[in-house]
Chain A
Amino acid sequence: MNKQKMKQQMHAILVLQKRMSQTRFWGVGIFLVMSISFIIASVLLINQLNYTQTNTILLEKEIMLIPLIINAILIALYLSFSSMVQIAREYEQGTYELLLYGPMDEKTFLLGYFISQIKIFLICLLATILWTLICIRQLNLALQPELFLIFLLSLLMTTQLISFGILFASISRNTRTSVIYFSLTMLFLAGIALADTIISRLVTITVSTANDPLLIVRDVLATINSVIQWVSPFSLMVNAINAALDQVWSIFTFNSVLILIEIILLLSISIWTIRRKGVRAA
């Protein structure tokens, strides 16, 4: 690809992302989600502090970990959902076709959306960092260097979720269908992990015979979960965060690289899909 075309593509991406980012802040949606995620994070954080008060001691490497993960997941889900809906609407309304009449192609279109969502997340992340630092200062919590790795990983997870959203929008080209399938996929990813944990615990409590069907359910769930762990943004992030807290940099790097590879893969498939499908339904 020649340099001039790259420059033009970059320009188109920047213009599109600027518009997307601007319009996002014209509504209250993102602000509402930020507030809700901060409130949930606050409740979780204060629960831990209340526990400390009851128990009189709490030994914790990173007290902000859970609140920050929940905060990041909520914002990431919102951004992936909204970017997916916006892209699907562009297809449905025909504005996508109109954009392609101009100096833009499928790749720049998707990357424009992608970068705009990353930019919005970075703004949210900045707010989250600010919130975290104030909480740490006000509540006399420890500021650990690993905290910044958690922020980095939340960025990676969000990026991966947004890529998932873009893929669903590119495949379905329909708001309702993409929302349904995306929701089901996310529920499946989170649900299997949760079910696996619950059933494993249930097995140790209730199962007394080797022929209990619950054992088969447990083994099936464990097998599915072991596969899902390699693709689920939530699993990869949690693995990487645990590795960062344990200072096992090989696992941290491995999971981070895996997330990056999946992002590239998801975006490539999205671009290939919309190119293949053309500008309008046949």
Chain B
Amino acid sequence: MKKKNTFRWSISLLIIILLLTIVVQVFAVDTDEFVYAGNYYNGITYSSNFIPPKTNAIYLLANEDSILSARLTETYYWPLTNEIKASWDKQNEPVQGQLEILQNGQIISVLERTNYTIQYDANDMFGTIELYVGEEAIASRIAFEQAQLDYREALQAYNEAYNEYEAALTAFMDKVREENLTVSEEDFPTEPQKSEDMSLYSTNLLQGFLINLPVGNYTIQFRLPDGSIQENSKKELTIFEAIQDGIGYTVFSKDRWTIDESNEEESQIIYTTKENTIFLQPYHQKQYNELYYLRMADPQETSARKDRAIWMPFSDLTDLNLLISNNKTESTISETDYYVQQTKGYTLGYDILKFDPETMDTISFSAYGIDASYAGQVINIQATDSEGNLLPSSAREIRVINIQRTWVVYVLAVLPILLGIVFLYSRRKNVRNEKIIA
């Protein structure tokens, strides 16, 4: 009886807790909060992030320019992702004041708000992205706006010139038809040349605090014009750097050249099948602390762990050679340009051919091609620089699986039961299993 009551009470309590959780979530009211938002540099490009009021840690890369801005906005809980989000559309006000950076309890720097803008060429975003601050930001923004203006004017001039060209072409064609003239190519009106599309992109002129610090643990706080410290502005700031540099490879094969995979570590084996060609594209990568790096991008990230590391691609590598060791023979290969040629006829497919500038239009891809010829083959590779020096963390192993031998695995699997039957038979032979009636 007592047990039954306890059970009922437990169930009731559980239901009440669940209902309360729903009520709290449904009727949670949006509130105005002081928050930081940032434009951080992640080693390749600039991205933006949002640091909610209750999140106390901020992570940024060492010796790189990043921006933090103090803002007033409305926040709300988003249960789908278990995150606090900002309603920037409802409210997004900059907060006046100074950002103080402390280390070991001492203020080491007081930052004033500054103008900034981020610009890049859309044709090569990672190679051109730039953060401009202060006067330079204003100048860059003005230059961008001027470039936009020039582009629009040039576009307008082109459109006008094109309209004129079309009118002239029509008139010319009418005249040729009416008079039945024989004309050469030079007699046609000249088509106007379109200026290049504008690929430069720029953010607006924004305001924030420029942070560029060496590796270390800091604290930041926001001081209001009245001298007080803004509530929820004190955060731990971790400035970190890459643990190590390394070489990673983008790997794809002859038969599926559009599907590639990243090989980040030496311990990651590249398995393939016989009569295949593996293409490798080396790239420079950096290893970061997983928690620091992922929390830099998303301060509310929960799966990241401090004791794990993460590899991030950094830049393509060129001018390398690959040293190939295959069954006691060594050879060196260099990067080759390839052309993907669609197979003619009904069959869907393609051939990957070495690029021939004489007969082929464009290079489809450049890579280091390695032939896996027979089952059981083991190919070891390592990158060398132009002077032939072996590059650390660039070694990889390619193994050609022996799929024909899978029957051995199954045969081995049934051996224990066969052994068991032998043991059982032997036991039955050695003991007497009988009922004695004596």
Contacts and interface: CB of A to CB of B under 8 A. Distances in A.
Interface of A: 25-28, 30-32, 34-35, 38-39, 41-42, 45-46, 49-50, 52-53, 55-61, 63, 127, 131, 134-135, 138-142, 144, 146, 203-204, 207, 210-211, 213, 215-216, 219-220, 243, 245-246, 248, 250-251
A57 B413 contact: no
B417 A53 contact: no
A251 B291 CA distance: 14
A139 B251 contact: no
A55 B261 CA distance: 11
A138 B272 CA distance: 15
Interface stretch (B20-28, B48-56, B217-225, B239-247): B20-28
Contacts of A38: 412-414, 416
B282 to A, nearest CB: 15
Given A35-B417, A140-B375, 4 more contacts: A28-B421, A57-B278, A219-B21, A219-B82
A57 B376 contact: no
B424 interface: yes
Interface stretch (B94-102, B178-186, B384-392, B393-401): B393-401
A101 B429 CA distance: 33
A202 to B, nearest CB: 12
B402 A134 contact: no
B399 A140 contact: yes
A211 B416 contact: no
Nearest to B272: A57
Contacts, number: 166
Contact of A61 (B268, B400, B408): B268
Interface residues on B, range: 35 or more
A141 B401 contact: yes
B431 to A, nearest CB: 9
A127 B267 contact: no
A46 B401 CA distance: 11
B38 to A, nearest CB: 26
B335 interface: no
Given A215-B79, A216-B18, A57 B25 contact: no
A138 B397 CA distance: 17
Question: What secondary structure prevails in chain B residues at the interface with A?
Answer: mixed
B401 A52 contact: yes
Contact of B423 (A26, A55, A142, A251): A26
Given A57-B270, A63-B271, A211-B25, A140 B400 contact: yes
Given A28-B424, A207-B80, A216-B21, A49 B403 contact: yes
Contacts of A63: 269, 271
B412 A31 contact: no
Interface stretch (B227-235, B252-260, B344-352): B252-260
B420 A138 contact: no
A56 B276 CA distance: 8
Contacts of A127: 416
Nearest to B271: A58
A57 B417 contact: no
B88 interface: no
A31 B309 contact: no
B402 to A, nearest CB: 5
B305 to A, nearest CB: 8
A56 B255 contact: yes
B259 to A, nearest CB: 8
Given A31-B419, A250-B307, A215 B80 contact: yes
Given A56-B255, A57-B261, A32 B273 contact: no
Pairs A-B, 6 closest by C-beta atoms: A31-B420, A38-B413, A34-B416, A35-B417, A56-B253, A28-B420
B19 to A, nearest CB: 10
A9 B408 CA distance: 45
B2 interface: no
B174 to A, nearest CB: 61
